[in-house]
Amino acid sequence: MIDVVALRNWSEITADFQLNWYVYLSMPLIAAFIGYTTKLLAIEMIFRPLNFRGVRLGPIPLGWQGVLPAMAGRIAAIAVDVLVPKVIDPRELADKLDMGRLITDLRGPLNAVVEEMVDDIAREIQPALWEMMPAEARRLVSARVLAEAPKYLDRMMADVKRDFEEVVDIKDVVVTALTRDKALLVRLVRKISAPEFRFMANSGIYFGAAIGVIQMLCWAVVHDPIIMPIFGLACGFVTDWIALNMIFRPHNPRKFFGVFEFQGLFIKRRREIARDYAGLIADEILTPANVLEIVLAGPTSNNLFLMVQRHVATAIDEQLSIAKPLAVLAVGGLQLRNPLKALDILQVGSEEFQKMKVLVAQKAFDMAPQSIKHVEQYATDVIDVKTSVLAKLDNLTNEEFEHLLRPIIKEQEPIVIACGALLGFAVGELQVLFVEAVSRLP
């Protein structure tokens, strides 16, 4: 048999209200508290903790990690899919670089690197020949390479600029920055959406109080303890759902009930958000250091190495004809005393020659970070990522702008709403205990 809940008449309701008026009045207040705290806790559960806290029973985790840090890889991939096609144009960034200015700024560090490289390579490939060459001859070889280095660097930089997308994987730069530093991802989302999350928490007070009034009326009529946890669950669920939707919808200002005008908070603040968004991308994601790391060690680094190797091989082929007469002159005296040894010193086999090309390319590649540091500030100033991104964001429609954050929030919505509902149910149970304790008072 199913128990039928008896409805109370008006006289019973008024008599109970007069006797327990403080219980009735506490319901909207407690519901407002539920609305606020469940939202506040749900928001913090999105971001904290950065790392899993709890215990693991085999494959089963018993604990919690912030939704955002836990899903950093997937969320970073979503952010990239939104950012790169519409907001970050690799070709536009590359076109801003003045290769002539770069070569000029690199000349000083380049000279030091090339001089060191010439000496190291010569001692490794042909140590005997290099030692036998007069100091002046060695100086002439180094000077010749130094004089020609900017020309080869200019050719290589032109190729880098032309094939920028093959050398620099912008998507990988963004994903690596966001997944390596989970705190950065949390900071990014927190900063651009702080007012929206604050609204979400505060809205729980008003929506919760409204639901509490309905709860009070139902309690007066039904007077069944199950009302409390059910309304707590409803309060947590409904207020979370409404607040999340009010962050993004409607896209354009819209009047409700002919008086109240409202626009999605994220869209309404798009100018301020765009400025913060562009600043974070420029200062913490698309930095010269992050780009250089991916260029030299990322999935496209082999493309750059092959490019360097190709230009190094060309340079060696062209410069060999200059260095060889000096080498012959250096061992001229040795030819008279020991012709076979002199011939052996001058002979560089095909395999050794290829080894030299690879070795030079590898050394040039390894020395790149040290040299490029001299042009980081120039690249930062001239590319001006913040201005470029801000201009692109301004051109987005409201619907497109929503997708900067909406896909990230969308991933977490079911968890946030479910947590809000469960927390509301738990507080509702506490409310039952409170009412029962009060009713037992003399």
E strands present in 119-257:
254-256
Phi then psi dihedrals of residue 287, to 5 deg: -90, 155
Greater pLDDT, 404 or 283? 283
Task: Kindly report which listed range (200-209, 363-372, 403-412, 425-434) carries the lowest average pLDDT score.
Answer: 363-372
- Has residue 259 got a pLDDT over 70? yes
Greater pLDDT, 370 or 74? 74
- Has residue 337 got a pLDDT over 70? no
pLDDT of residue 262: 86
Who contacts 267 (Cβ-Cβ below 8 Å, separation ≥6)?
248, 251, 252, 398, 401, 402
Residue 437: pLDDT band by 50, 70, 90 thresholds?
Answer: confident
**59-91 tens-digit pLDDT:** 787 888 888 888 888 877 877 777 777 788 778
- Has residue 113 got a pLDDT over 60? yes
pLDDT of residue 329: 45
- Has residue 316 got a pLDDT over 70? no
- Has residue 401 got a pLDDT over 80? yes
- Has residue 362 got a pLDDT over 60? yes
pLDDT of residue 130: 65
Rg (CA), the chain: 35
pLDDT of residue 347: 45
The mean per-residue pLDDT over the stretch 110-136 comes to 69
Task: Count other C-beta atoms under 10 Å from residue 94's C-beta.
Answer: 17
- Has residue 96 got a pLDDT over 70? yes
Residue at token pair 């990230």 = 408
- Has residue 13 got a pLDDT over 70? yes
Residue at token pair 């303890």 = 225
Q: Of all residues in the chain, what percent carry a pLDDT higher than 70?
A: 76
Distance of CA 116 to CAs 139, 146, 373, 374, 429, Å? 12, 11, 18, 18, 76
d(CA 308, CA 298): 16
pLDDT of residue 81: 79
pLDDT of residue 47: 86
Range from 90-94, 189-193, 333-337, 434-438 that averages highest in pLDDT:
189-193
Task: Kindly report which listed range (9-23, 70-84, 345-359, 362-376) carries the lowest average pLDDT score.
Answer: 345-359
Instruction: Report CA dihedral (30, 232, 242, 24) to the nearest 10 degrees.
Output: -40
The mean per-residue pLDDT over the stretch 349-359 comes to 60
Nearest to 51 by CA among 177, 181, 197, 176: 181
- Has residue 127 got a pLDDT over 70? no
d(CA 42, CA 419): 6
Q: What mean pLDDT value characterizes the chain?
A: 76
- Has residue 423 got a pLDDT over 80? no
DSSP 59-102: TEEEEE--HHHHTHHHHHHHHHHHHHHHT--HHHHHHT--HHHH
Residue 361: pLDDT band by 50, 70, 90 thresholds?
Answer: low
**209-240 tens-digit pLDDT:** 888 888 888 888 877 788 778 877 887 788 77
Nearest to 162 by CA among 303, 285, 286: 303
- Has residue 344 got a pLDDT over 50? no
- Has residue 301 got a pLDDT over 80? no
Residue 368: pLDDT band by 50, 70, 90 thresholds?
Answer: low
**20-74 tens-digit pLDDT:** 888 888 888 888 887 788 778 878 888 888 888 888 877 787 888 888 888 888 8
**232-254 tens-digit pLDDT:** 788 778 877 888 888 888 888 88
